[in-house]
A and B are shown apart, each in its own frame.
Chain A
């Protein structure tokens, strides 16, 4: 698996935007950038994914650098329920039976 690098932890105030960075300098042309998050005592849940263009959905936005070597997950208005560990993962387009492995992720703390 291509490696990703994320800060171990971040803090943000409630109702403010949060920008979670991810570096993936060895990304290949067919790797999709995926973000999952894990709330306390729950399994991971899908947040968003993208290939080259920026993406928006109801949960978040994903900004992808032009060279694709980094990306940023954007939570536009953080709530206490967004406190979780966020994982940035590269998944090839030909997913097949490839294993999805997790790095250490970023533990996001939301300050009321």
Chain B
């Protein structure tokens, strides 16, 4: 299947700093990218949806000024957690959807980024 990468895989930062997470689709063009967060023992919660060149659409309750999403190209999306606080510590997972050989769009997930804010 297609490959989606995330960088970094884990990051530890001090409270008040900003952290940028990159998501890349390595072998296909992603028409849409999604960002999820996941707390321990919980399911994935969708944060936002982004299309290349457009503003992201955020889910209810997700602060767009805190979680900045940039989808500059068909292979790269970034999530910046601004002024991070300990409650932002979580597992962040990106997902990319593109046109595959089959008749419908497939969606692939990155390996996740574990953010710990001290």
Interface centre among B44, B46, B95, B114 (most CB of A within 10 A): B44
Interface residues of chain B, those whose CB is within 8 Å of chain A, are 1, 4, 6, 32, 34, 36, 43-44, 46, 49, 51, 91, 93, 95, 97, 104-112, 114
* 26 pairs, A vs B, C-beta closer than 8 Å: A32-B104, A41-B91, A42-B111, A42-B112, A43-B93, A43-B111, A44-B44, A45-B109, A46-B1, A46-B106, A46-B107, A95-B104, A95-B105, A96-B105, A97-B32, A97-B49, A99-B34, A99-B46, A99-B49, A100-B46, A100-B95, A100-B107, A101-B46, A102-B36, A102-B43, A102-B44
Interchain Cβ contacts within 8 Å, total number: 50
Contacts of A100 in B (CB 8 A): 34, 46, 95, 107
> Contacts A93-B104, A95-B104, A97-B49: A104 and B109 contacting too (C-beta < 8 A)?
no
Contacts of A101 in B (CB 8 A): 46
Closest to A96 in B: B105
